[in-house]
Amino acid sequence: MGPVNRPLDLEWLEDFLVLAESGNFSRAAKMRGIAQPAFSRHIRMLEEWAGIELVDRAQHPAVTTPAGEVLAAAARDVVLKLSQARAQAHEVQEQADRSLRFAATHVLSLSFFPPWLQQLEQRLELGPIHMVSDSFARCEQLMLQRRAQFLLCYGHADVQTQLQAPEFSFIRVSEDEMVPVCAADAKGRPQYSLDAKAKAGAPMPVLHYSQESGLGQIIRARLPETFDVARFKPVITSHHATLLKTMAMEGRGVAWLPRSLVANELAEGRVMLASTAMSVPIDIRLIRATAPLSAAAEAVWAALQVPAATTTRPQRPATQSR
């Protein structure tokens, strides 16, 4: 009997181990729930794979040959380890099916996401949550690579991204507003005024967003005049709105920031509005791929199909300029 170049079937090993324990082909076939001819064929195919006889059929009950004993010992270990691995793999998959993978831009991951998630948890029993906080450009790539199920970000109807229909869809979960702010002067007035007539030869210092920033894309679309170097002088560029906020509070220039990010500072007079007209309404969106997601992710999406009045909204003063 020579070895045959063929794949090994795990079922053959399982049949062989039952035969080694029972010593009877008929009893072993019954225990395995298959007909005896099929069971006997499996044992023969295993012997052909091994290239040696594994069962001494001349004895009653049938016993494994010395070579068969060696293979049986190894087979027990293989079958046990594969069974354990399969169970562990199922546990990991079940964990993955319950988990949720969010990507969010920096500001929203810190300010909006925690209370929004708490509100969502009051309606759904959520599993483990994995959150990535990064620039919009990086989060966008995570969505395109299907490494995140959801993206929480700012958006505007005039700004097109790579996450467009029909491959992607979004829900507007809240709203905000980008307002131009700056530090206060010694008299408690805005250090810079966008509403005042610009002085010749004195461009206003501005704190801009980088190309990676979703907020920067909105500003470029809605306020292109702020990139006129004859009127505005960029002094700091970053995709971190929180950094631009800090620089604005230190008097470095004017920054367009989400009102929710500076609501407390505006109320306390630590920053001032640099204009009563140059604000930009923005959405807070949750984006997903339209392809089917895990059951947990689909449950989240279904739960969000509710009136906007039940969603989390940033805190704002009673009146505001548009």
Full pLDDT tens readout for the chain, 322 residues? 445 567 889 999 999 999 999 989 999 999 999 999 999 999 999 999 999 999 998 888 888 999 999 999 999 999 989 888 887 777 666 666 778 999 999 999 999 999 999 999 998 989 899 999 999 999 999 999 999 999 999 999 999 999 999 999 999 999 999 999 999 998 889 999 987 665 555 789 999 999 889 999 999 999 999 998 888 999 999 999 999 999 999 999 999 999 999 999 999 999 999 998 899 999 999 999 999 999 899 999 999 986 534 444 444 433 333 3
Domain that holds residue 139: 98-175+288-308
Q: How far is CA 203 from the centre of its chain?
A: 42
Are residues 299 and 264 part of one domain? no
Count the Cβ atoms, other than its own, within 10 Å of residue 240.
17
Residue 313 belongs to a domain: no
Q: State how many domains the chain has.
A: 3
Reduced to 3 states (helix: H, G, I; strand: E, B; else coil), residue 164 is coil
Dihedral angle of Cα 76, 82, 88, 92, to the nearest 10 degrees: 180
CATH number (domain holding residue 164): 3.40.190.10
Are residues 143 and 229 part of one domain? no
Residue 92 belongs to a domain: yes
Q: How far is the C-alpha of 205 from the C-alpha of 41, rounded, in Å? A: 84
For 96, the token pair is 């993955």
User: Do the beta carbons of residue 97 and residue 294 sit within 8 Å?
Assistant: yes
Are residues 268 and 191 part of one domain? yes
